Amino acid sequence: MISLEAISAHGVGDLDNLAPAINGDPAGKNLLSIRQLANEDIYQYIEEARAAERYVRDPTRRGVDLLPHAVMIALMRQPSTRTGGTMVTAIEKLGGPGHLFSGMASSSEAKGESLADSYVALATQSDMIGIRTKEEDGPYHAAHAIAQSFRFGKLWQPVPIINLGNGTDEHPTQALGDVFTIAKWQDFDRLDGLTVAVVGDHERYRAHHSDLLIAKRLGMRVIAVESEAAPVPDDIANDLGDNLERTLNLDAAMREADVLVMGRNPDEYDGDDPWEQTRSRWLADSYAGWTIDADRLQQMKPDAIVMHPRPRRDELHPSVDSDPRMWDVEQMASQVAMRMAIVARHLGVSIVDHEKMATDAEFAIGVQ
- Torsion (CA) 235, 257, 32, 40 in degrees, nearest 10: -100
To ligand CP, the closest distance from the beta carbon of 310 in angstroms equals 5
To ligand CP, the closest distance from the beta carbon of 174 in angstroms equals 5
Q: Is 250 left (phi over 0), alpha (psi -120 to 50) or beta?
A: alpha
To ligand CP, the closest distance from the beta carbon of 123 in angstroms equals 23
List binders of ligand CP among 163-182 (CB under 6 A).
165, 174
Cβ-based nearer residue to ligand CP, 93 or 144: 93
Whether 211 contacts 198, CB under 8 Å: yes
Whether 213 contacts 238, CB under 8 Å: no
Instruction: Determine the 3-state secondary structure of 288 from DSSP.
Output: helix
Tell me which residue of 347, 354, 351, 312 sits closest to 331, measured CA to CA. 312
To ligand CP, the closest distance from the beta carbon of 309 in angstroms equals 4
Tell me which residue of 52, 75, 37, 56 sits closest to 162, measured CA to CA. 75
Among 11, 289, 311, 318, binds ligand CP (CB under 6 A): 311
Instruction: Determine the 3-state secondary structure of 101 from DSSP.
Output: strand
Cβ-based nearer residue to ligand CP, 184 or 339: 339
Q: If binding is defined by CB under 6 A, does position 82 make contact with ligand CP? A: yes
Cβ-based nearer residue to ligand CP, 246 or 310: 310
Strands 161-166 and 98-102: unpaired
To ligand CP, the closest distance from the beta carbon of 212 in angstroms equals 16
Q: If binding is defined by CB under 6 A, does position 26 make contact with ligand CP? A: no
Cβ-based nearer residue to ligand CP, 45 or 55: 45
Tell me which residue of 110, 109, 127, 126 sits closest to 118, measured CA to CA. 109
To ligand CP, the closest distance from the beta carbon of 134 in angstroms equals 12
Among 3, 8, 23, 81, binds ligand CP (CB under 6 A): 81
Q: If binding is defined by CB under 6 A, does position 309 make contact with ligand CP? A: yes
Terminal Cα-to-Cα distance of the chain (whole angstroms): 57
Candidates 74-82, 138-146, 320-328, 343-351 — which segment interacts with ligand CP by CB under 6 A? 74-82
Cβ-based nearer residue to ligand CP, 53 or 211: 211
Task: State the residues that interact with ligand CP by CB under 6 A.
Answer: 80-83, 165, 174, 309-311
